[in-house]
Each structure stands twice: as structure tokens, then as C-alpha cells.
A and B are shown apart, each in its own frame.
Chain A
């Protein structure tokens, strides 16, 4: 077994363990933290596949930003776990049905008929000066130009929609106007007045 293979199995075991913990922990914060571990470990597996750009971006975007916001929200929730577990038996059939359907769907795609070394050749290892980032950029901005731009516009629309939905103007709230505050000059606020002092006593 080569060192890389050994690393792969280590990461794979951690990843599966973390994924199971995400759905089995009662405490939502623990689940979120295990999801962070799962993201990080999958990034390491991508790194083993020489996809360093995607691996680091996964850590940067999902671990560094998305999961921080997730934790932010989850930590502030006060979840009543008893009420959450109350309907377990009632929802079990539906849950099982969904689970079976999902497993079947996954099997259809990654079953032996479509997966394995016969269908997907082992990619050749790249030379040391191969830059994953450069190659990705080259393809993304030439061949996949339109899908890339369209995805960007869709995301922009989502941003605008999210801001519009959460924006509420409350009448009667007093805001500061920073431009006004910065525009204030010394002469508007301070006036130097000459106060006539008492006359100095003359010492004879």
C-alpha cells in the first residue's frame, strides 16, 4: 500500500465518521462542527487527487465562510429536542421511503454499470510544474464562458432577492448620516470667544 493510498483511507474513514455524526448528534452545534470536519476532510481528499484549487476553495468558501454563518445561526437557536423527537415513529415510514429512493437513485448513477475502472480511466499524474489554477481558469473563461457568466448572473439575482426580502424600513428609527458627520468642520461646532480677563495687579 502506497503512502497516498494510506492517506486516502485515513481521510475516507474520518469523512464517513464525520458524516454519520452530522446526522446522528442531538446537539445542532455539534452537528455543524462535524460538518466542518467533513468539508475539511473532503478538501484533503480532493488535494490527493491533485485538484488543489478546488480543495483550497472548498476550505475557503465552505469552511471559512458558509459554515461560520451556519454556526452563527445554529448557536443562537434554542431548539427543544424533545419536541423535535416527538414524531419519530410517525415520520419513520416517510423518512425510510425517501432514504430508499435516494439510495436507489445513487445506485443508478454510480452502480457497477456506469462506474469503475472500465468506464473511467485512471487519470495520469501531472508533472510538478502543472498549475491546476491556470488550467481551470483557461477552460472556465474560454470553453465554458457562457455557463460561467450565466451562473454569475443567477447568483447576483439571488443576492438582490435575499437583500430585498430581508430589507425592512422601520419608520421612526433614527439613523446617522456618516457623510453629514464627516462634512462637519471645526468652525461649525467650535467658536473661540475672547473673554476679557481681569486686569493684572500691578506690583508697586
Chain B
């Protein structure tokens, strides 16, 4: 043990910092990947029960090893590159879609002190990175040199750009209410019990943010980019094996990210829902903030699955109408309302 301590101290200061940051990245990404794996299992099970089926139950006890089996299967499958495809871009696209999905976690606070990079413009950083995820889809669709993939990419590009505006405006409301772009400060601005959190004063923005998040991740009922009943599998129709798996990982990592961000910005992050209440408050004080954050995130992750089992796919023009003609006007009006509430120090939230 003493040898390792000596070895560590012998390293130059800069190298120690780099290694320490890398270790923390692994601490964030490894559980995230495991969560993604079991999220796919949860999805199949939950949707199964909602449709009065059993879902996967063959591999391991109650099917618990199913995601591991899926991962192994995908790893050993051949990666087929279509003849007319642009090889470099074709292999680049899955990486371009997973990199932003993982990089966004760098500024995500898991607790008041538990954050990899506590940057001032954290909210902007997350917005910028999530807006880059669309390149994976577009480049995949174009580089595959296939009509179906291309149609999926075109649909996805228009859809993501449209809903990004509504999403951005919803976050502007959060930023006005919190008075900061720093994610830790946004949570601290919601200090208090469940009725102090931003979901109540920003209710329309909260709903719009989450629905836009569903659209941004191309999940049902906004999954026209995949649209398996119309264009086979959309943008990733020509991908196989690990290249397909990376798209899959990116999609689920993005869903978890959107759920966690919704919990952070509208549901008080790591704050206890009973904070400051006379009887229940002290009773739940021992629960670590991280547990609350995870529980809140799981609620939104469940909603993603529930939506998929409940709603039929939107038609393309309906998606565009909802984004441009319904969401954007509502967000603009509500930013004005929030601005007035902050200026006149509306009691309870902004006093």
C-alpha cells in the first residue's frame, strides 16, 4: 500500500490532476452505462406488462441477464458497411451521437459538491451539447447512401431543430427564475419543500421542456426518425453490430440525461420534498440528496416508457404544428410572466 502512495506522490502535479479527473469520469460513465443496459430491460418488461405480456424472462433469473446477453450478441455481430456508403462518415456518425450524450454529464451536479466541472455557464453548455447530438443522426442518414436512412435523417433534422427552440425557451424561463446559468445555483434557488420547486411557478415550461425532451431524443410518440412501420428503422437502417449498439446507447443515455435534467431544473434536484415541513421534514432528513435525485430521475425515465406504450406516433405535420404553433408561443408568454414575477418578487418563490 505504501508503495502505491509513494508512486502517486512521485507523479507530477499536472498528471495527478489528469488521472484524478479520468477516475471521476469513469465513476460517472460506468454506472451510467450499466443504467442504460438495465433501462432497456426495464423498458421491455414495463411495456410488456402494460400490454399484458411478460417480457424477457429466459436469460438468468426472471430475465435479469437479458441486457448482458444482448450486449454480447451485438459485440460479436459483423459490422456491415454498405457498398455505396462513405466509410469514414458512416463509422463517425455513431461516435458523434454518443459523445455529446456522455459529455453533457460533465457539468451535471449529483449533489451540492458532487460535480465534475462546476462551470458558470453549465446550462448553456448542456444546451449546446444536446444540440450537437443531431449530427450523428444526419450524418448516419447521409453516409448510409440509402433512401430510407436519408428520409429518417431529414425528418429528424427538422424535428430536432424545431423542438430545440421550445426547449431553449423553457430553459430561459428556468434561468430567469434562478438568476444563474450554474446548475448548482439553479437547484439552490429552489431551496425548500416540494411546493418551493420550480415545477409550480414554471408549470407550462416544465411540461413543454419534458415533451420537447421526448421529441429531441426521437422517442415515441415523436419517433418519426425511426418510424419502423414506414421507413424500416430510419437513420440507422444500415447499421449492424456494435455501430448500431452505439446509437442505441446514445439514445438511452440521452433519455436518462433529459430525465435527470428535468429533475434538476424543475423538481429540486437533490432536495428533499419534505424540506422545511414541520413533521415529515426531520423524519426524512437522513436520506442522502443523491437518493432523492435518483428517485426523481427514475420517475421521468418511467414516463418515457409509459409514453411509448400509450401514444400512437404523431404524423409529421402534427409534430411541426405542436412545436411551432403551440409550444413556442406558450414559452414566450410564460417567460414574460416569470420575468414579471421575478421583478415584483412574487412571494413564496422569488422573494
Contacts and interface: CB of A to CB of B under 8 A. Distances in A.
Q: Do A and B come from one complex?
A: yes
Given A29-B142, A65-B161, A133-B181, A56 B135 contact: no
Interface residues of B, number: 27
A42 B124 CA distance: 17
Nearest to A71: B138
B332 to A, nearest CB: 12
A52 B128 contact: no
Interface stretch (B55-63, B152-160, B263-271): B152-160
B124 A65 contact: no
A68 B134 contact: yes
Given A68-B160, A72-B157, 9 more contacts: A56-B127, A59-B128, A63-B131, A64-B128, A71-B142, A71-B157, A75-B142, A75-B153, A131-B120
B223 interface: no
Contacts of A145: none
Nearest to A29: B142
Contacts of B132: 59, 63-64
Interface string A94-132: 000000000000000000000000000000000000011
Interface in B147-189: 150, 153-154, 157-158, 160-161, 164, 168, 181
28 contacts: A29-B142, A33-B89, A33-B139, A36-B135, A56-B124, A56-B128, A59-B131, A60-B128, A63-B132, A64-B131, A64-B132, A64-B134, A64-B164, A65-B131, A65-B164, A68-B134, A68-B135, A68-B157, A71-B157, A72-B154, A72-B158, A75-B138, A75-B142, A75-B153, A75-B154, A132-B120, A132-B121, A133-B181
- The dominant DSSP class at the B interface is helix
- The dominant DSSP class at the A interface is helix
A182 B157 CA distance: 28
B329 to A, nearest CB: 14
Contacts of A36: 135
Interface string A39-55: 00000000000001100
A133 B89 CA distance: 35
Interface string A57-93: 1011001110011011001100000000000000000
A178 interface: yes
A60 to B, nearest CB: 4
Interface string B98-141: 00000000000000000000011100110110011011001100
Interface of B: 89, 119-121, 124-125, 127-128, 131-132, 134-135, 138-139, 142, 150, 153-154, 157-158, 160-161, 164, 168, 181, 318, 321
Contacts of A29: 142
B120 A60 contact: no
A60 B124 contact: yes
Interface residues of A, number: 22
Given A64-B134, A68-B160, A178 B321 contact: yes
B141 to A, nearest CB: 8
B120 A133 contact: yes
A131 B89 CA distance: 38
Contacts of B160: 68
Contacts of A75: 138, 142, 150, 153-154
Given A33-B139, A75-B142, A75-B150, A56 B161 contact: no
Contacts of B139: 33
Contacts of B142: 29, 71, 75
B95 to A, nearest CB: 14
Nearest to B139: A33
B161 A69 contact: yes
B126 to A, nearest CB: 10
A196 to B, nearest CB: 34
A56 B125 contact: yes
Those 3 A-B pairs whose CB atoms lie nearest each other, nearest first: A64-B131, A60-B128, A59-B128
A60 B121 CA distance: 13
A150 B4 CA distance: 63
Nearest to B138: A71
Contacts of B150: 75
B104 to A, nearest CB: 12
Contact of A133 (B121, B135, B321): B121
Contacts of A76: 154
A57 B153 CA distance: 24
Nearest to B134: A68
A57 B158 CA distance: 20
B156 to A, nearest CB: 10
A89 to B, nearest CB: 30
A69 B138 CA distance: 11
